[in-house]
């Protein structure tokens, strides 16, 4: 499970528009992590906090996510969802 504990060094909140996509699956094919793929070909993994969990119901839908972003030790971008809006197709 993706969970960040250190967001103290983040200065402000970002808003990202993009497509909600699966990022990882378990052995039975269930989605276990999600990402938002931006229209600029960037991908942010979505932290599995309560708001992030809600997004699993909207896989392959366009969304606008507002939250705290961070890059992990491996260069992956991760967002902690504060609020979101599902956009109409």
pLDDT tens string 35-44: 999 988 899 9
Three-class DSSP labels, the chain? CCCCCCCCCCCCCEEEEEEEEEEEECCCCCEEEEEEEECCCCEEEECCCHHHHHHHHHCCCEEEEEEEEEECCCCCEEEEEEEEEECCC
Class of domain 14-86: mainly beta
What is the tens place of the pLDDT at every residue in 63-77?
999 999 988 888 899
Q: What is the pTM of this model?
A: 0.84
């Amino acid at each position: 499970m993706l969970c960040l504990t250190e967001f103290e060094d983040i200065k402000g909140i970002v808003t990202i528009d993009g497509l909600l996509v699966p990022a990882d699956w378990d052995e039975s094919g269930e989605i276990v992590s999600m990402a938002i793929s931006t229209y600029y070909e960037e991908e942010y993994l979505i932290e599995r906090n309560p708001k992030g969990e809600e997004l699993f119901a909207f896989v392959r839908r366009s969304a606008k996510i507002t939250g705290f972003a961070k890059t992990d030790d491996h260069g992956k971008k991760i967002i902690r969802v504060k609020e979101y809006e599902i956009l109409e197709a």
